[in-house]
C-alpha cells in the first residue's frame, strides 16, 4: 500500500530540478529551448498526475467504502522541535490532493504551452520559464504536504514565486509596486497563519494532517475545550481562535475581504501568470487549506470557525461581484471575478455538513474549484490573446473583435457561459450544488449566492459583448489578428475541458468524509430553474446594454450616483490601507522610533562620552601616557567595584 | 599540538609570515587566503573528528579538552574544549574570513596591515569559541575587539574616527561590566575552603550563591548583550558598520556580534542559572523590544548599511529572545539563528561593499534599476533579502521557526504573547527588505550608472560561498541541528532542573 505511490516525490521534484537548471542557465539557453525544456518537464508530471489520479480512484479505489489517505514519509524530523513536535517532510495522497495534482499540472501545462507563443521575443523568456517551474514545484508541494508546517513552507514558496512573477517586468514601477504589495499583504496574513500553527502545535501536540483530522484528536480537543472554559477569548475557545488565525492565512492567499487588495494589482504580471497563479491555482490555496483541515473545522466547537468561513466567503463573493460590474480593465474584471468565485467556494465549505449527502457543500466547493480553474484560466488566457492583439487592457480599446478573432471569441463565450452557470457547461453543475447546499444552510447566504450568480452573468457578458461586439474602435493599420497556434491549442483544450468537466461524477470521488455519495441535478427543482433564470436574465440585461453601443450604461451609472463611484474605486479599501500603513505606521510609529534611536538613545551615549571627555580634562594629571598604568587603573577599578559589591551585600 | 590550539597558532603563524616576508597586496592576500584555507581544512577536520567521537559514544560535555596552567597564582588556566555549537561557530568564522578575504581582494591602502588586523581579530574569535576558562575567554574576547578600533579608524570611511571611538568605547564599557561579573563569579567561587577558580566546568559544579547570581548575572548579560546588539545598548552598531570597511563589517556582524549570544549561552546562563531565571522576564522585554524596534527603525533608513545594522538589531534580538525563553527548541533556534544571521549579514555587507565600490553611493533612493546594470550582484541581493525575511529554503526560516515554536511551547501565557509580538517582525522585515529591493534593484535603469563593471570572479566566489551555506542550513537543518542539540541539552540542564 505504502509503496504504490512512492514515485510521487517525482512530481514536485521534476519542476524543482527544471527550475534549478533553467535558473543557472537562463543566460546561456535561449528561446525557444528553455521553453521546450520547461514544457517537457511539465508534460511528464502531467502524465504522472493523470496516472496517479487513475490509480488512486480506480485501481486502489475504495477500501471499506472509503477512499484511502496514504502518507509517504520522505524525511522524518526535518526539523526536530521537541519529543512530540517536528516538521516532517511527507506526501499525503487523498482525494483532494489528487484532484489538486490534476488541476495544477493541467493548468500549468496549458500555461507553459500558451507561453511559448505569448512570451515570444521577450527578453526574460528563460527566466519566465524558470519562475514557472519554481511556482509549479511550490504549488505541488503545497497540495501534497502531509502536515501543517510543511504546507506553511510551500505556502511561503508559492508566495515568493507569485512575487517574482508579478514583478516579472521589473523595470516597470507599477509591477514592482504590485509585487511588493502582494508579498507584504499575504505575509501579513501568513503571520496569523503561523501563530495559528504555533497554537495548534501547542494544544494538539502535532502538525500532522492525518492525526489532526482523526476523530480521536478532535474529540480530545472537544473535551479539552469543555474542561477549560477559562482558555477562551471573547467567548471563543483558544483552539477555535487557532483555526480562525489559520483561516486568516487562507484569506490572504485567496484574496478574501479585507485582504484582497493585492489581487487586482497582481494583474501587472504577464497574463499567463495571472491565469495560472492568480486565477486557477495559488489563489485557491486558502480554499484548499480549509478543505485540508475540514474535519477539524467542522467538529471543533460545533464548527464556529466554519461559520466565519461562510460569512467571509459570501461577503467577498458579493463585494467583488459589485466591483467587477464597474471595472474597465478586462484583467481587473477577471481578477474581481476570481475573488468573487473563490468567495463562492469558501461559502460552499462554510455551509457544508460532514457525512454523506450533508457534505454536499464540501464536494460542491471542491468541484467548483476544479471547474473554475478550467474556465477562469481559459478566460485569462483568452484575455491574454486579446491584449496581445490590441495592445491594451482597456475595454474602450476593444470591440468588434468577433470577426478578427473567431476562435478566441468562441472559447470566451464558452467560458463566460460556464461561469454564468448555464447548462451544460462546467460552471453550472458546481455552482448549482453550492446554491443547493447554501439553501439548506441559511436562506440569507443562499440569497447572496443567488444574487452573485446574476451579477456574474451580467458582468461576464458585459465583458464579452464589449470585447467582441459593440462599437469597433479605429484599429488603424494594425488589424487585430488571431493568436498563434501554441496559444490557440491551450485555449481549445481548456474550452473542451470547460464543456465536459461538469459531467464528472464528482461526488463519487471527492467528499468530506472520503466516502462517495450520489448527487444529481433535479431539473424540475425550483432552485435549479431559478438559478438558470437568474443567469439568463443577467446575460439578457448585458445583451441589451452592451451588444450595441447604447446610452444605458451611462444612464445607469448616473442613476447610481455615489454608489457607482464607490464601486468603481473599489470602495476605497486601498486608500484605507495606505492610510493605515503610511500615515499611521510609517509616519507615527516607525519614524518616531528611528528618531528616538538616533537622538535619545544614541544621544545619551554621546552625552556620556562628552561628559567623560570633560571630566578627563580635569583629571589629566593621571594621564601618564603609559599603557601599563591605564591597564592597572582599569583592572584595579574593576576589582574595587567587585569588592565593594561583595562587601556591602 | 592539539587540534584546538592549532586554531590559535595557525593564524599567528600566518601573521608572522606576513610580517616577515610579504611586501605587497598580492602576497598579503595570498598568504591570508592560504592561511585561511588551512583553517578551513582544520575546521572540516574538526567536524569529522567531532562526529567520530560522538558516534563512538563519547558523551562528555566537552571534547578535545586541554587544561594547561597559565597564571597559577590566581588559578587561571588555559582550559580549552569544544562541543557542537563551538564547532559550528569555528566553521562560521573560517568561512566568513575567507569570504572577507575575497571581498578585500583589491584593497589598496596598507593591505598587509589590513590583513594582519583581520587575522588577529579572527584569532581572538577562535580563542573565544574554544575557551572553557573565564580568564582565557576574556583575554581572547579583548583580542577580538581591539583590532576593530584600528580597522575602522584606519580603513574606514565617513566619520570613521568618531565611529571607531564610539564602537570601541561602548564595547569596552560593556567589557568592564563583563569583567566585574567575571571577577564576581571568581571571587564568590571561593566558598567552602576551595580556592577561587575561573574554570567553567568547575564553577558549574560549585553552584554559585543565588544572591550573588542575582547581582552579577545582569552585568554579564549586559556585558555580552552589548556586543550582541541588546536594546538599548545597540547604537554603536549602525555608526560602526556604516564607517567600517566591507570585510570588517562582514566579520563584525557575521562573527563578532555572535560572541554576545554565545557568551550568554555558554557562560552567563550556565554559571548563574537562578540569576538567569530571576532576570528572565525583564530581559525578555528588552529583547522583544529590540526585535520589533530594530525592524521598525530599519523601515525609515535609506543608507544600506544602516538598514542592515538595524536589521541585525532585530535578528540578533531574536537570538537573545530565544536564549531567554530557556527551552531546548528555542535554544536550538538561537544557535541556528546565530549561524544564519552570520552568513546572511556577511552576504549583505559584502554586497553593499561591492555596490558602494561601484556607485560610491549607499543611499537606496539614489540608485535604481541595478538589476540591468550589475545583474549578478542584484540577484544576490534579492537572494539575501529573501533569506533575511525568512523564506523557506534559506537559513533564516529554519532558525526563526525553532525560535517561535520554542517560545510558544512555554507553558506561560506571558511568553506566548511575547512570541506573538516577535512574530510580527516577519512582516516588518518583509516591508523593509522589499522596499529596499524595490527602490534599488528593480525599476527603470538610471542613466548615471550605466557602465559599471560586472562582478569579478573573486566577488562571485565570496557570494557563492555565502549563498551556498545559507542554502545548506535552510535545506538540511537536521544536519546542523545534530551539533547544536547535543550542546544545548547539556547547557540547559542547570536552568530546567
Cβ-Cβ contacts under 8 Å, B431 against chain A: 184
Whether B471 maps to a domain, the answer reads yes
What integer is the mean pLDDT of B416-438?
92
Cβ-Cβ contacts under 8 Å, A149 against chain B: 401
Quote the distance between the C-alpha of residue B492 and its chain's center: 21
Residues A175-224: tens digit of each pLDDT: 999 999 999 999 999 999 999 999 998 888 889 998 888 888 888 888 88
Peptide bond into A258 cis (omega under 30): yes
Within 8 A by CB and 6+ apart from A357, the residues are: A517, A519
User: Which of A42-51, A214-223, A472-481, B368-377 has the weakest average pLDDT?
Assistant: A472-481
Q: What is the DSSP letter of A276?
A: I
Say what the pLDDT of residue A1 is: 46
Residue A42's closest CA among A127, A106, A120? A106
Quote the distance between the C-alpha of residue B66 and its chain's center: 25
CB pairs under 8 A between A and B: 149
What integer is the mean pLDDT of B17-23?
84
pLDDT at B65 over 90: no
Q: CB-based contact (8 Å) between A24 and chain B?
A: no
Interatomic CA distance for residues A534 and A271, integer angstroms: 31
Chain A residue with CA closest to B232: the answer is: A601
Chain B residue with CA closest to A612: the answer is: B169
Length of chain A (residues)? 649
Interatomic CA distance for residues B221 and B180, integer angstroms: 12
For chain B, what is the domain count? 1
Whether A597 sits inside 8 A of B293 (CB atoms) is: yes
The grid coordinates listed for A472 are 469597433
The grid coordinates listed for B441 are 534593484
pLDDT at A153 over 50: yes
User: Which of A386-390, A462-466, B34-38, B190-194 has the weakest average pLDDT?
Assistant: B190-194
Residue from the list B215, B427, B442 with its beta carbon closest to the beta carbon of A188? B427
What integer is the mean pLDDT of B441-466?
86
Between A423 and A365, the higher pLDDT residue:
A365
Q: CB-based contact (8 Å) between A641 and chain B?
A: yes
Which of A158, A593, A611 is the best mutation test for B, with the most CBs of B within 10 A?
A593
pLDDT band (50, 70, 90) for residue A528: confident
pLDDT band (50, 70, 90) for residue A492: very high
pLDDT at B493 over 90: no
Whether B481 sits inside 8 A of A602 (CB atoms) is: no
pLDDT band (50, 70, 90) for residue A62: confident
Interatomic CA distance for residues A103 and A142, integer angstroms: 13
Residue from the list A85, A149, A167 with its beta carbon closest to the beta carbon of B442? A167
pLDDT at B67 over 80: yes
Whether A80 sits inside 8 A of B442 (CB atoms) is: no
Q: CB-based contact (8 Å) between A199 and chain B?
A: yes
Say what the pLDDT of residue A628 is: 60
What integer is the mean pLDDT of A457-485?
85
Q: CB-based contact (8 Å) between A406 and chain B?
A: no
What integer is the mean pLDDT of A301-313?
89
Average pLDDT over chain B, rounded to whole?
A: 89
Chain A residue with CA closest to B389: the answer is: A187
* Structural domain for B428, as ranges: 6-495
Length of chain B (residues)? 497
Average pLDDT over chain A, rounded to whole?
A: 87
pLDDT band (50, 70, 90) for residue B15: confident
Residue from the list B296, B329, B445 with its beta carbon closest to the beta carbon of A593? B296
* Cα angle for residues B336, B341, B345 (degrees, 5° grid): 160
What integer is the mean pLDDT of B109-119?
85
Interatomic CA distance for residues A614 and A21, integer angstroms: 64
Say what the pLDDT of residue A598 is: 80
Whether A77 sits inside 8 A of B478 (CB atoms) is: yes
Place of cell 557568551: B263
Name the helix (H) or strand (E) containing B266: none
Number of CB atoms found within 10 A of residue B333's CB: 33
pLDDT band (50, 70, 90) for residue A621: low
Interatomic CA distance for residues A611 and A576, integer angstroms: 48
pLDDT at A354 over 90: no
Q: CB-based contact (8 Å) between A589 and chain B?
A: yes
Say what the pLDDT of residue A622 is: 58
Q: Is B371 exposed, middle or buried (0-12, 13-18, 19+ CB in 10 A)?
A: buried
Whether B1 maps to a domain, the answer reads no
Highest average pLDDT, of A211-225, B21-35, B216-230, B443-457, comes from B216-230
Quote the distance between the C-alpha of residue B175 and its chain's center: 17
What integer is the mean pLDDT of A594-607?
80
Interatomic CA distance for residues B230 and B251, integer angstroms: 18
Q: Are A75 and A89 in contact (CB under 8 A)?
A: yes
Whether B342 maps to a domain, the answer reads yes
Number of CB atoms found within 10 A of residue A353's CB: 18
The grid coordinates listed for B77 are 588556566
| Mode of pairing for the β-strands spanning A236-237 and A62-63 | unpaired
Q: CB-based contact (8 Å) between B414 and chain A?
A: no
Number of CB atoms found within 10 A of residue B445's CB: 14
pLDDT at A520 over 80: no
Interatomic CA distance for residues A530 and A435, integer angstroms: 11
Residues B201-215: tens digit of each pLDDT: 888 888 888 888 888
Classify B476 as helix, strand or coil: coil
What integer is the mean pLDDT of B331-350?
94
Say what the pLDDT of residue A632 is: 67
Between B42 and A478, the higher pLDDT residue:
B42
| Span between the terminal Cα atoms of chain A, in Å | 71
pLDDT at A2 over 60: no
Which of B407, B408, B440 is the best mutation test for A, with the most CBs of A within 10 A?
B408
Number of CB atoms found within 10 A of residue A581's CB: 15
Secondary structure of chain B: what % helix, strand, coil (to 5)? 75, 5, 20
pLDDT band (50, 70, 90) for residue A524: confident
What integer is the mean pLDDT of B42-68?
88
Whether B184 maps to a domain, the answer reads yes
Nearest CA distance, B161 vs chain A (angstrom): 14
Interatomic CA distance for residues B25 and B32, integer angstroms: 10
Nearest CA distance, A360 vs chain B (angstrom): 36
Say what the pLDDT of residue A390 is: 87
What integer is the mean pLDDT of A373-384?
92
Interatomic CA distance for residues A387 and A396, integer angstroms: 12
Q: Are B131 and B140 in contact (CB under 8 A)?
A: yes
Residue B33's closest CA among A9, B456, B25, A548? B25
The grid coordinates listed for A399 are 470591440
pLDDT at B239 over 70: yes
Q: Are A437 and A364 in contact (CB under 8 A)?
A: yes
Cβ-Cβ contacts under 8 Å, B386 against chain A: 160
The grid coordinates listed for A241 are 481562535
pLDDT at A605 over 80: no
Chain B window 374-393: which residues touch A at a Cβ cutoff of 8 Å? Answer: 386, 389-393
Chain B window 51-110: which residues touch A at a Cβ cutoff of 8 Å? Answer: none
As a whole-number percent, the residues of chain B with pLDDT over 70 amount to 100
Place of cell 521534476: A14
Amino acid at each position: 500500500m505504502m509503496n504504490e505511490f512512492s514515485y510521487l516525490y517525482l512530481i514536485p521534484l521534476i519542476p524543482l530540478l527544471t527550475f534549478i537548471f533553467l535558473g543557472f542557465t537562463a543566460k546561456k539557453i535561449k528561446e525557444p529551448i528553455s521553453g521546450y525544456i520547461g514544457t517537457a518537464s511539465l508534460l511528464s508530471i502531467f502524465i504522472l498526475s493523470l496516472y496517479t489520479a487513475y490509480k488512486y480512484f480506480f485501481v486502489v479505489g475504495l477500501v471499506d467504502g472509503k477512499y484511502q489517505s496514504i502518507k509517504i514519509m520522505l524525511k522524518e524530523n526535518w526539523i526536530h522541535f521537541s519529543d512530540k513536535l517536528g516538521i516532517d517532510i511527507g506526501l499525503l495522497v487523498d482525494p483532494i490532493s489528487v484532484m489538486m495534482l490534476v488541476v495544477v499540472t493541467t493548468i500549468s501545462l496549458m500555461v507553459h504551452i500558451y507561453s511559448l507563443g505569448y512570451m515570444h521575443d521577450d527578453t526574460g523568456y528563460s527566466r519566465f520559464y524558470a519562475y514557472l517551474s519554481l511556482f509549479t514545484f511550490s504549488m505541488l508541494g503545497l497540495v501534497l504536504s502531509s502536515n501543517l508546517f510543511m504546507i506553511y513552507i510551500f505556502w511561503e514558496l508559492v508566495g515568493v514565486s507569485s512575487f517574482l512573477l508579478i514583478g516579472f517586468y521589473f523595470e516597470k514601477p507599477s509591477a514592482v509596486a504590485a509585487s511588493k504589495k502582494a508579498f507584504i499583504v499575504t505575509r501579513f496574513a501568513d503571520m496569523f497563519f503561523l501563530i495559528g500553527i504555533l497554537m495548534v502545535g501547542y494544544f494538539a501536540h502535532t502538525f500532522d494532517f492525518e492525526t489532526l483530522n482523526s476523530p480521536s484528536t478532535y474529540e480530545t480537543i472537544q473535551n479539552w475545550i469543555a474542561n477549560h472554559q477559562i482558555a477562551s477569548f471573547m467567548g471563543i475557545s483558544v483552539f477555535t481562535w487557532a483555526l480562525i488565525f489559520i483561516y486568516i492565512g487562507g484569506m490572504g492567499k485567496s484574496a478574501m475581504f479585507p485582504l484582497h487588495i493585492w489581487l487586482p494589482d497582481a494583474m501587472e504580471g504577464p497574463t499567463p501568470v495571472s491565469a495560472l497563479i492568480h486565477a486557477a491555482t495559488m489563489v485557491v490555496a486558502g480554499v484548499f487549506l480549509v478543505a485540508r483541515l475540514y474535519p477539524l473545522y467542522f467538529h471543533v466547537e460545533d464548527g464556529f470557525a466554519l461559520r466565519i468561513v461562510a460569512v467571509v466567503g459570501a461577503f467577498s463573493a458579493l463585494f467583488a461581484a459589485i466591483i467587477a460590474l464597474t471595472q474597465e480593465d478586462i484583467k481587473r474584471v477577471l481578477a474581481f471575478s476570481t475573488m468573487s468565485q473563490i468567495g463562492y467556494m469558501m461559502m460552499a465549505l462554510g455551509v457544508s455538513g460532514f457525512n454523506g449527502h450533508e457534505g454536499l457543500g464540501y464536494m460542491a466547493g471542491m468541484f467548483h474549484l476544479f471547474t473554475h480553474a478550467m474556465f477562469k484560466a481559459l478566460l485569462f488566457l483568452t484575455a491574454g490573446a486579446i491584449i496581445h492583439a490590441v495592445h491594451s487592457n482597456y475595454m474602450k480599446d476593444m470591440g468588434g473583435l468577433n470577426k478578427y478573432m473567431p476562435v478566441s471569441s468562441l472559447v470566451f463565450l464558452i467560458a463566460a457561459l460556464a461561469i454564468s452557470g448555464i447548462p451544460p457547461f462546467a460552471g453550472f453543475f458546481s455552482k448549482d450544488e453550492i446554491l443547493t447546499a447554501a439553501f439548506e444552510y441559511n436562506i440569507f447566504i443562499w440569497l447572496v449566492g443567488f444574487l452573485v450568480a446574476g451579477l456574474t452573468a451580467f458582468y461576464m457578458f458585459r465583458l464579452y459583448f464589449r470585447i467582441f461586439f459593440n462599437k469597433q474602435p479605429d484599429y488603424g493599420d494594425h488589424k487585430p489578428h488571431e493568436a498563434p497556434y501554441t496559444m490557440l491549442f491551450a485555449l481549445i483544450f481548456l474550452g473542451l475541458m470547460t464543456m465536459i468537466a461538469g459531467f464528472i461524477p464528482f461526488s463519487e470521488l471527492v467528499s468530506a468524509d472520503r466516502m462517495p455519495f450520489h448527487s444529481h441535478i433535479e431539473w424540475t427543482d425550483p432552485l435549479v430553474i431559478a438559478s438558470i433564470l437568474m443567469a439568463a436574465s443577467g446575460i439578457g440585461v448585458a445583451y441589451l446594454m452592451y451588444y450595441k453601443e447604447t446610452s444605458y450604461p451611462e444612464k445607469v451609472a448616473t442613476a447610481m450616483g455615489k454608489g457607482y463611484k464607490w464601486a468603481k474605486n473599489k470602495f476605497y479599501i486601498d486608500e484605507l490601507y495606505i492610510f493605515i500603513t503610511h500615515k499611521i505606521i510609517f509616519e507615527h510609529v516607525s519614524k518616531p522610533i528611528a528618531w528616538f534611536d538616533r537622538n535619545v538613545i544614541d544621544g545619551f551615549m554621546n552625552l556620556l562620552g562628552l561628559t567623560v571627555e570633560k571630566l578627563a580634562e580635569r583629571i589629566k594629571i593621571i594621564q601618564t601616557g603609559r599603557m601599563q598604568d591605564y591597564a592597572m587603573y582599569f583592572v584595579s577599578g574593576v576589582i574595587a567595584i567587585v569588592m565593594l559589591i561583595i562587601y556591602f551585600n | 599540538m592539539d587540534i584546538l590550539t592549532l586554531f590559535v597558532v595557525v593564524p599567528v603563524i600566518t601573521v608572522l609570515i606576513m610580517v616577515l616576508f610579504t611586501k605587497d597586496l598580492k602576497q598579503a592576500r595570498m598568504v591570508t587566503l592560504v592561511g585561511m584555507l588551512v583553517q578551513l581544512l582544520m575546521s572540516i577536520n574538526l567536524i569529522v573528528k567531532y562526529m567520530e567521537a560522538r558516534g563512538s559514544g563519547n558523551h562528555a560535555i566537552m571534547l578535545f579538552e586541554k587544561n594547561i596552567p597559565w597564571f597559577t597564582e590566581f588559578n587561571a588556566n588555559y582550559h580549552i574544549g569544544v562541543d557542537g555549537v563551538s564547532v559550528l561557530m569555528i566553521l562560521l568564522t573560517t568561512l566568513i574570513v575567507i569570504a572577507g578575504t575575497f571581498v578585500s581582494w583589491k584593497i589598496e591602502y596598507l593591505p598587509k596591515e589590513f590583513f594582519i588586523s583581520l587575522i588577529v581579530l579572527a584569532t581572538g574569535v577562535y580563542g573565544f569559541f574554544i575557551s572553557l576558562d573565564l580568564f582565557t575567554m576574556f583575554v581572547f574576547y579583548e583580542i577580538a575587539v581591539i583590532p576593530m578600533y584600528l580597522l575602522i579608524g584606519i580603513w574606514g570611511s565617513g566619520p570613521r574616527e568618531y565611529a571607531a571611538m564610539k564602537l570601541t568605547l561602548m564595547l569596552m564599557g560593556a567589557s568592564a561590566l563583563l569583567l566585574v561579573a567575571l571577577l564576581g563569579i571568581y571571587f564568590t567561587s571561593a566558598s567552602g575552603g576551595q580556592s577561587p577558580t575561573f574554570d567553567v566546568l568547575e564553577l558549574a559544579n560549585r553552584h554559585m550563591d543565588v544572591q550573588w547570581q542575582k547581582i552579577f548575572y545582569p552585568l554579564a548579560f549586559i556585558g555580552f548583550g552589548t556586543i550582541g546588539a541588546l536594546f538599548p545598548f545597540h547604537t554603536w552598531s549602525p555608526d560602526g558598520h556604516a564607517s567600517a570597511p566591507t570585510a570588517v563589517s562582514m566579520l563584525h556582524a557575521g562573527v563578532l556580534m555572535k560572541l554576545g549570544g554565545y557568551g550568554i549561552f555558554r557562560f552567563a546562563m550556565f554559571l548563574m542559572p537562578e540569576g538567569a531565571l530571576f532576570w528572565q522576564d525583564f530581559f525578555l522585554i528588552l529583547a522583544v523590544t529590540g526585535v520589533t524596534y530594530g525592524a521598525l527603525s530599519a523601515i525609515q533608513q535609506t543608507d544600506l548599511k544602516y538598514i542592515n545594522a538595524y536589521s541585525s538589531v532585530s535578528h540578533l534580538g531574536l537570538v537573545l529572545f530565544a536564549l531567554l525563553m530557556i527551552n531546548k527548541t528555542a535554544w536550538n533556534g538561537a544557535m541556528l539563528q546565530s549561524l544564519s544571521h552570520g552568513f546572511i549579514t556577511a552576504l549583505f555587507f559584502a554586497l553593499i561593499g561591492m555596490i558602494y565600490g561601484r556607485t560610491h553611493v549607499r543611499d537606496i533612493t539614489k540608485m535604481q534599476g541595478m538589476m540591468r546594470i550589475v545583474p549578478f550582484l542584484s540577484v544576490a541581493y534579492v537572494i539575501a533579502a529573501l533569506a533575511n525575511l525568512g523564506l523557506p529554503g534559506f537559513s533564516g526560516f529554519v532558525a526563526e521557526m525553532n525560535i517561535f515554536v520554542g517560545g510558544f511551547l512555554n507553558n506561560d501565557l506571558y511568553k506566548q504573547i511575547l512570541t506573538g509580538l516577535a512574530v510580527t517582525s516577519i512582516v516588518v522585515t518583509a516591508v523593509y527588505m522589499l522596499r529596499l529591493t524595490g527602490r534599488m534593484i528593480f525599476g527603470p535603469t538610471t542613466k548615471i550608472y550605466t557602465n559599471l563593471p560586472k562582478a569579478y570572479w573573486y566577488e562571485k566566489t565570496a557570494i557563492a560561498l555565502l549563498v551556498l551555506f545559507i542554502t545548506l542550513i535552510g535545506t538540511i537543518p537536521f544536519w546542523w541541528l545534530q551539533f547544536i542539540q547535543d550542546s544545548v541539552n547539556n547547557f540547559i540542564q542547570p536552568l530546567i532542573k
